[in-house]
């Protein structure tokens, strides 16, 4: 038996909340093909999802416990969860990767909802999905994005405890930066040493680590690290998505190598002020757009200058909602968000800053140890 991340009542509560929404919207079943939703309702956590070979299916009926329709290779691990109804198929299969079994599972449902909107995906071959539609032509397939995202946006206190733990681990690792990094160190070695430090501090994994380094700013925040050595006057930024029991932190820190120019010091201070401006109004009843506008005002940027300035956080590195000028999603207590302002410093130069917070009835709780306005300088 595998040790579970949460007790059974956590998954029962999630299922019951989904079923309440299903009842109100006339939905007979929810249908999922993706890792996050499978794990959210079952507790089934495995790295085997990294292989695209086999499909995995979950059906949440309007009454009763979820039904897993999965490859035989996952039966033992699924049996360690709270799920009782586990239907298995042989996979990979040259003709039928579980579609007939899945269609039989869905035959009693006439209104089937599944994620179809923004930040969702279908993890099965499109031709297999078309075959499923043909085999279940009695049913209507509906967009279930809204109720599922609404449910997952608000975290339980158990989820928040895990997020607090991994953010604490990340904060401790960043605190050791003066010991880990130095002028002349190749950037790929910087990444490697920081990944190791996160694991030493207690992270289970570091599936996401990006950043950049350059004179008075960096060019982007998504490129893989090069062997270029850190130089005097560089700004180094690392953005980590480490995990604990499948839950992510997502925040960054900036460091000046040797010295920081006035422009860099001013930019860092502005980014921290932008985070503080959003945190000041981050209360239930305000909207994602409100937080975006609060940060954009400090940054002196319009809506068209950046895509978004933060997002939801949890089982995935990025989740709904988005902190954009057009997202009017109301903030609710126990939402976990990133606040992520960015500034352009000139052609090919930028800086970003990111913190993780929980929306509370009063002031938000910072899960990360907040950065101060003065950019840390590494003098080694």
Q: What is the pLDDT of residues 331-372, one digit of tens each?
A: 999 999 999 999 999 999 999 999 999 999 999 999 999 999
Res. 283: pLDDT tops 60:
yes
Which residues make Cβ contacts (< 8 Å) with residue 65, sequence separation at least 6?
Answer: 15, 82, 83, 84, 85
Q: Look at the block and give the residue holding tokens 């997002």.
A: 311
Taking 80 as the threshold, does the pLDDT of residue 197 lie above it? yes
Task: Note the pLDDT tens digit of each residue in 11-23.
Answer: 999 999 999 999 9
> ∠ CA(54), CA(49), CA(10), 5° rounding?
115
Please tell me the distance from the alpha carbon of residue 370 to that of residue 86, in angstroms, as a whole number.
Answer: 45
Least-confidence region, from 65-79, 98-112, 235-249, 291-305: 291-305
Lowest-confidence region among 81-90, 184-193, 219-228? 219-228
d(C-alpha 73, C-alpha 42), whole Å = 17
**pLDDT value at position 322?**
96
Whether the CB-CB separation of 257 and 212 falls below 8 Å is answered with no
255 contacts 235 by C-beta, under 8 angstroms: yes
Question: DSSP of 91-112, one letter per residue?
Answer: SS-SS-SSHHHHHHHHTT-SEE
How far is 169 from 154, CA to CA, in rounded Å?
22
Region 2-6: what's the mean pLDDT? 80
**Helix 8-25 with 35-42: angle, nearest 10 deg:** 110
pLDDT, residue 305, reads 55
Instruction: Say what the pLDDT of residue 106 is.
Output: 98
Instruction: Name the phi and psi angles at 133, rounded to 5.
Output: -60, -40
Cis ω before 92 (30° cut-off from 0): yes
* CA-based nearest residue to 364, from 265, 284, 248, 264: 284
Rounded to an integer, the average pLDDT of 9-36 is 97
CATH fold of 8-152 reads: Creatine Amidinohydrolase; Chain A, domain 1 (3.40.350)
Under CATH, which number does the domain 157-378 receive? 3.90.230.10
Q: What is the mean pLDDT of the chain?
A: 96
pLDDT band at 1 (very low <50, low <70, confident <90, very high): very low
Q: What is the pTM of this model?
A: 0.95
Residue 3 has φ and ψ, to the nearest 5°, of -70, 130
Helices (H), the chain: 8-25, 35-42, 75-78, 99-106, 126-135, 145-153, 157-175, 177-180, 187-201, 262-281, 288-299
Convert 249-316 into a string of H (helix), E (strand) and C (coil): CCEEEEEEECCCCHHHHHHHHHHHHHHHHHHHHCCECEEHHHHHHHHHHHHCCCCCCCCCCEEECCCC
Q: Which residues contact 168 (CB under 8 A, 6 or more apart)?
A: 367, 369
Please state the three-class secondary structure of 179-191 as a single string: HHCCCCCEHHHHH
Residue 303 has pLDDT above 80, yes or no: no
Higher pLDDT, 3 or 53: 53
Q: Which residue's entry shows tokens 């319009």?
A: 302
Confidence at 269, pLDDT banded by 50, 70, 90:
very high
Residue 4: its pLDDT value, please? 86
pLDDT higher than threshold 70 for residue 306: no
Main-chain dihedrals φ then ψ at residue 128, nearest 5 degrees:
-70, -35
Report domain extents, the chain.
Answer: 8-152, 157-378
Q: Which residues contact 172 (CB under 8 A, 6 or more apart)?
A: 201
pLDDT, tens digit (0-9, with 9 covering 90-100), for 223-254: 899 999 999 999 999 999 999 999 999 999 99
Determine what percent of the chain is predicted with pLDDT higher than 90. Answer: 95
């Amino acid at each position: 038996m595998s040790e579970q991340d949460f007790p059974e009542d956590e998954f029962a509560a999630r299922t019951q909340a989904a079923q309440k929404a299903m009842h109100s919207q006339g939905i007979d079943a929810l249908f999922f093909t993706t890792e996050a939703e499978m794990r959210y309702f079952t507790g089934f956590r495995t790295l085997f999802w990294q292989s695209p070979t086999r499909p995995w299916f979950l059906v949440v009926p309007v009454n009763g416990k979820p039904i897993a329709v999965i490859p035989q290779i996952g039966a033992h691990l699924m049996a360690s969860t709270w799920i009782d109804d586990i239907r298995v198929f042989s996979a990979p299969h040259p003709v039928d990767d579980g579609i007939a079994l899945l269609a039989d599972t869905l035959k009693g449902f006439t209104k089937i909802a599944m994620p179809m909107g923004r930040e969702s995906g279908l993890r099965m071959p499109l031709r297999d999905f078309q075959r499923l539609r043909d085999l279940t032509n009695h049913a209507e397939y509906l967009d279930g994005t809204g109720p599922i995202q609404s449910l997952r946006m608000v975290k339980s206190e158990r989820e928040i405890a895990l997020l607090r733990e991994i953010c604490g681990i990340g904060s401790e690792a960043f605190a050791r930066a003066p010991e880990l990094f130095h002028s002349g160190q190749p950037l790929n070695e910087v990444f490697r040493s920081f990944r190791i430090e996160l694991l030493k501090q207690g992270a289970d994994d570091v599936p996401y680590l990006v950043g950049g380094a350059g004179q008075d700013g960096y060019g982007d925040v998504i490129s893989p690290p090069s062997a270029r050595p850190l130089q005097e006057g560089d700004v180094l930024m690392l953005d980590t998505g480490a995990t604990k029991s499948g839950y992510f932190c997502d925040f960054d820190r900036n460091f000046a190598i040797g010295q920081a120019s006035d422009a860099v010091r001013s930019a860092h201070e502005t980014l921290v002020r932008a985070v503080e401006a959003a945190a000041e109004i981050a209360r239930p009843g305000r909207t994602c757009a409100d937080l975006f506008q609060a940060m954009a005002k400090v940054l002196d940027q319009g809506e068209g200058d950046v895509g978004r300035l933060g997002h939801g956080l949890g089982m995935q590195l990025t989740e709904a909602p988005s902190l954009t000028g057009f997202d009017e999603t109301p903030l609710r207590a126990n939402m976990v968000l990133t606040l992520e302002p960015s500034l352009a410093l000139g052609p090919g130069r930028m800086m970003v800053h990111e913190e993780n917070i929980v929306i509370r009835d009063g002031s938000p709780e910072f899960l990360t140890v907040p950065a101060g306005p003065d950019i840390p300088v590494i003098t080694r």
